[in-house]
Amino acid sequence: MDHSSYASPFSWRYGRKDVRSLFSERTRRRLWREVWIALAQAESKYGLVSEAELADLRAHADEIDIEAALRSNARFTTI
């Protein structure tokens, strides 16, 4: 499945390619990574996250396995 574009029954009709990309699963998860890195940076000032851990988060920010994340989410949403 392509996660680089927002999927909706109306995407073909109403969504421009650049807008669908903006709301895609990949972009959404990449933005969450930026939030996590900012949080870790703030926590590092108080000694809660080491510089090595922060560097590791930054180095792997673009490595997003959406299929694995969706499988993980499915475990918590199925009751």
Number of domains in the chain: 1
**Does some domain include residue 2?**
no
Cα 14 to Cα 9, 11, 21, 24, distances in angstroms? 10, 5, 13, 15
Q: Taking Cα atoms as reference points, which of 5, 3, 27, 30 lies closest to residue 16?
A: 5
pLDDT tens figures, 39-49: 999 999 999 99
**Does some domain include residue 8?**
no
Displacement of CA 37 from its chain's centroid (Å): 11
Percentage of the chain lying above the pLDDT 70 cut: 76
**Does some domain include residue 23?**
no
| CA distance linking residue 10 with residue 24, whole number of Å | 14
pLDDT bracket for residue 57 (50, 70, 90): very high
Structure confidence at residue 66 (pLDDT): 85
**Does some domain include residue 63?**
yes
Above 90 in pLDDT, residue 56?
A: yes
Domain enclosing residue 64, as ranges: 29-77
| CA distance linking residue 44 with residue 52, whole number of Å | 10
| CA distance linking residue 50 with residue 36, whole number of Å | 14
**Does some domain include residue 17?**
no
